[in-house]
């Protein structure tokens, strides 16, 4: 893996882009979970 | 207003990903569609479009958190506390991203993922400081008490941010661009002569894109937090 990336450094850049993307997705998934909880409690309250 | 932020964030970052990864390198670049070949960095020079904006967004988010901390202490409005904590959370997210992308870049430029370079040490301390902020928040049950304590903490923590990002890593000698005794000049990489005009333009587009992304995520998270707060105070 490391050897491949040392050989093809453009993929190092791609990996960095993917790390940032994964971080944003994790944040969105957690936010989605909060919205879902809110929806469920609102349904129960009604 | 918000739709401009959303389209701006998505459009600008998409543009930066496409152009940043696909514009070819050349040892004698001509025109706007070639990047200069920087010795020692080569393809990895493209990392600057993604790594630096995450670090910059971290600074913005932590300072916004401090701003709303000050506002909470002055006006005692719990909405400011929500904003302060949400911004600190986003700051922590981008701080982690800057650390991880930096570690990966370090592996291929400095030889190891982590070598306690002054820059790595200072961002690690920042992670600890803001990790402790959330530990503090989860330890206090009463809303007003939690808000006051974390506002005070956010102000003190915010004051350390410029020191750990802009001052300490530049006072000490290290491998990160901008460290003391750096051959390429005293400033950060994007200010150095090595970067061509087209790289600089794309870099600033990326900075704007990431800041807009921060505004969008902040707004989304705030709307959810407000709804949650409203529901709790109604019941």
Give A2-43 as a DSSP string: HHHHHH-THHHHHHHHHHHHHHHHHHHHHHHHHHHHHHHHHH
- Per the model's pLDDT, the better-predicted residue between B38 and B75 turns out to be B75
Q: How many residues does chain B have?
A: 235
What gap in Å lies between CA B78 and CA A7, rounded to an integer?
A: 53
- Residue B73 phi, psi (nearest 5): -65, -30
Token digits for B213? Answer: 């992304």
- pLDDT for position B190: 66
B214 lies within 8 A of chain A by CB: no
- pLDDT for position B211: 97
- pLDDT for position B187: 59
Instruction: Note the pTM of the prediction, 2 decimals.
Output: 0.94
- Average per-residue pLDDT in chain B? 92
ipTM for the complex shown: 0.92
Token digits for B52? Answer: 């630096």
Would you give the DSSP letter of residue B173?
-
B224 lies within 8 A of chain A by CB: yes
B102, pLDDT greater than 80 = yes
Which residues from chain B sit within 8 angstroms of residue A23, using beta carbons? 93-94, 96-97, 100
Q: Which of A4, A18, A20, A14 is nearest to B43 (CA)?
A: A14
Which residues from chain B sit within 8 angstroms of residue A3, using beta carbons? none
User: Is A19 in contact with B43 (Cβ distance < 8 A)?
Assistant: no
B12, pLDDT greater than 90 = yes
A44 Cα to chain B: minimum distance (Å): 12
- pLDDT for position B173: 86
pLDDT confidence of A10, banded at 50, 70, 90? very high
- pLDDT for position B191: 67
Q: Which of B92, B130, B78 is nearest to B217 (CA)?
A: B92
Instruction: Convert the pLDDT of each residue in B115-135 to its tens digit.
Output: 999 999 999 999 999 999 999
User: What own/partner pairs with CB < 8 Å and gap ≥ 24 does B145-150 have?
Assistant: B146/B81, B147/B72, B147/B78, B147/B81, B148/B72, B148/B73, B150/B69, B150/B81, B150/B84, B150/B85
Residues B68, B81 contacting (CB under 8 angstroms): yes
What gap in Å lies between CA B88 and CA B92, rounded to an integer?
A: 6
What gap in Å lies between CA B35 and CA B25, rounded to an integer?
A: 5
B79, pLDDT greater than 90 = yes
Which residues from chain B sit within 8 angstroms of residue A15, using beta carbons? 104
B218, pLDDT greater than 90 = yes
Interacting residues of B111 by C-beta distance below 8 A, sequence separation 6+ = none
Mean pLDDT, residues A22-42 taken together: 94
- Per the model's pLDDT, the better-predicted residue between B176 and B90 turns out to be B90
């Amino acid at each position: 893996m490391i050897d491949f990336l040392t050989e093809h450094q453009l993929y190092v850049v791609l990996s960095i882009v993917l790390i940032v993307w994964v971080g944003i997705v994790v944040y969105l998934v957690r936010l989605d979970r909060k919205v879902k909880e809110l929806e469920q409690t609102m349904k129960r309250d009604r | 207003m918000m739709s401009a932020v959303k389209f701006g964030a998505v459009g600008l970052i998409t543009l930066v990903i496409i152009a940043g990864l696909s514009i070819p390198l050349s040892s004698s670049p001509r025109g706007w569609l070639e990047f200069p070949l920087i010795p020692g960095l080569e393809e990895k020079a493209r990392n600057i479009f993604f790594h630096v904006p995450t670090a910059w967004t971290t600074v913005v988010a932590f300072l916004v958190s401090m701003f709303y901390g000050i506002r909470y202490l002055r006006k005692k409005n719990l909405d400011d506390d929500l904003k302060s904590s949400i911004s600190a959370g986003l700051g922590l997210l981008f701080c982690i991203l800057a650390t991880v992308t930096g570690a990966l870049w370090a592996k291929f430029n400095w030889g190891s993922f982590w070598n306690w370079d002054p820059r790595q040490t200072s961002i690690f301390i920042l992670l600890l400081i803001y990790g402790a902020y959330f530990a503090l928040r989860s330890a206090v049950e009463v809303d007003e008490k939690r808000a006051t304590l974390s506002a005070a903490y956010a102000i003190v923590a915010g004051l350390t941010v410029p020191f750990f990002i802009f001052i300490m890593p530049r006072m000490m000698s290290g491998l990160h661009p901008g460290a003391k005794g750096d051959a390429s000049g005293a400033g950060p990489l994007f200010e150095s002569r090595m970067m061509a005009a087209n790289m600089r333009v794309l870099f600033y587009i990326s900075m704007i894109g990431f800041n807009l992304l921060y505004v969008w995520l902040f707004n989304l998270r705030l709307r959810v937090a407000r709804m949650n707060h409203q529901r709790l105070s109604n019941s």
